[in-house]
Structure 1
Amino acid sequence: MDALELLLNRRSVAKLVEPAPEGEHLENIIKAGLRAPDHGNLTPWRFVLAQGEGRQKLADILQHAAQQRGGDEAAIEKASKAPFRAPLVITVIAKVTPHEKVPPIEQHLSAGCAVQAMQLACIAQGFQGFWRSGPLMFDANVRQALNVHGDDEIVGFLYVGTPATEPMKAAVRDLSQFVEFI
């Protein structure tokens, strides 16, 4: 797939099945994440992969957090099932290094760029990924379980697998609604 075509037509597919990328495909996905913009060469990212039994470990972490938050039965069940929406879940964490010229927000944005780069690498290799967030990524129990401290933040969960459906066509947007010149 042409790079510009990929960028202009990227769409998430939420229905993902086995197989998940592995070997060279998975390495390419991680390497793409490591190419995110990185002011100061701080490498402000950390990736926690959950597949196989790891998905159950992540499910247990999310379920416990939902229970501790006082979630109702539906919220707790949703949290416990979340990691099973794809055969691989990559938790992307902004790993912040104190730096006088690179504030935490810039390092968080860099980690966000890593998520998109990894998603694009999935698509380019015939897989798919969708980026999820939500209140549990800010939860103290989840942060502790995934060793997230201080200014570090979970920037999202990238669900990865083989698309079970074709992506919908990208919406055509009126550029004049988003662009202005000064």
Structure 2
Amino acid sequence: MPQARPAVTEFLLTRRSHPPKTLIAPCPSTEQLLPILEAAVRVPDHGMLVPWRFVVIAPEAMPRLADLAEKRATDLGLDDEKRAKGRAQFDIGNLAVMVVASPKLSDKIPEMEQTLSAGAVCVSLLNAALAAGWGASWITGWVSHDRGFAEGMGLAANEWIAGIVHIGTKGTAPAERPRPDVASITTWLGA
């Protein structure tokens, strides 16, 4: 008989991301962040390739990244709305952890599996931060997908940004949003 963990189930059924604009200081210290990162790497990783890594973005680095996002928006000819949105997460950010997908060459483990593992690290990092009592949100957007921004962050040619998880003290509580109807998206296969 499985041993249920109702508190964990309740957490997962009620968890809610907190957008970066709702997060305020203080942020986790290095000592508070390390167990969150340790929890985040406990994900499926076929072959133990560790096809991901972290870049911790401290508050003092945020202005530089905001400027990099704006420069990339200009270089790409993006409109004012995209430019503002690209830089905003860094203008308002206090602390973030960038999850870098870093696939390894493997004859046994396809890159898609490694990509899924990087996504699992993002959600695990998000949930670990929330479980530790912080507010957190997993952000992507054009900045995360722009090769020039990745290069400006010092990422290798085979690496890319899987997500940027902002972490801080919960400010205003976000409104609950509609969730998918599980019955409408589930198919049950029998014998």
Q: Same fold (TM over 0.5)?
A: yes
RMSD across aligned C-alpha pairs, in angstroms? 1.9
- What residue number does 1:50 align with? 57
Moved more, 146-155 or 52-61: 146-155
2:44 aligns to what SS in structure 1? coil
- Whether the 8 Å contact between 2:145 and 2:160 is mirrored in structure 1 is yes
What percentage of aligned pairs have identical amino acids? 31
- The one-letter amino acid of 1:146's match is M
Q: Distance between the aligned counterparts of 1:84 and 1:91, measured in 2?
A: 16
- CA deviation profile, 1:157-181 (whole Å, cap 9, x unmatched): 1111111123434646432112111
2:24 & 2:93 partners in 1: Cα distance?
A: 6
Whole-angstrom distance in 1 between the partners of 2:144 and 2:10: 32
- Is structure 2 residue 44 aligned with structure 1 residue 37? yes
Equivalent position of 1:62 in the other structure: 69
2:173 and 2:87 map into 1 onto residues whose CA distance is: 27
Distance change >3 Å, CA 23–CA 2, structure 1 → 2: farther
Decide whether the 8 Å contact of 1:88 with 1:161 is kept in 2: yes
Displacement of 1:82 = 1.8
Secondary structure (helix, strand or coil) at the match of 1:122 reads helix
In structure 1, what is the Cα distance between the partners aligned to 2:25 and 2:107?
A: 44
Bigger mean CA offset, 35-44 vs 53-62: 53-62
Give the structure 2 partner of residue 81 of structure 1.
88
Instruction: State the match for 2:3 in structure 1.
Output: none
C-alpha deviations, 1:71-127, integer Å up to 9, x for none? Answer: 233433332332133311211111110111111111111111111111111111110
Between the aligned partners of 1:74 and 1:57, the Cα distance in structure 2 is: 20
- Structure 1 runs not aligned, ≥5 long: none
- SS across alignment from 1:2: helix
SS of aligned partner of 1:162: strand
CA distance in 2, matches of 1:174, 1:144: 40
Q: Highest CA radius of gyration, 1 or 2? A: 2
Query: What residue ranges of structure 2 are gaps of 5+ in the alignment?
Result: 1-5
What CA distance in whole angstroms lies between the structure 2 residues aligned with 1:102 and 1:46?
18
Question: Which deviates more, 37-46 or 74-83?
Answer: 74-83
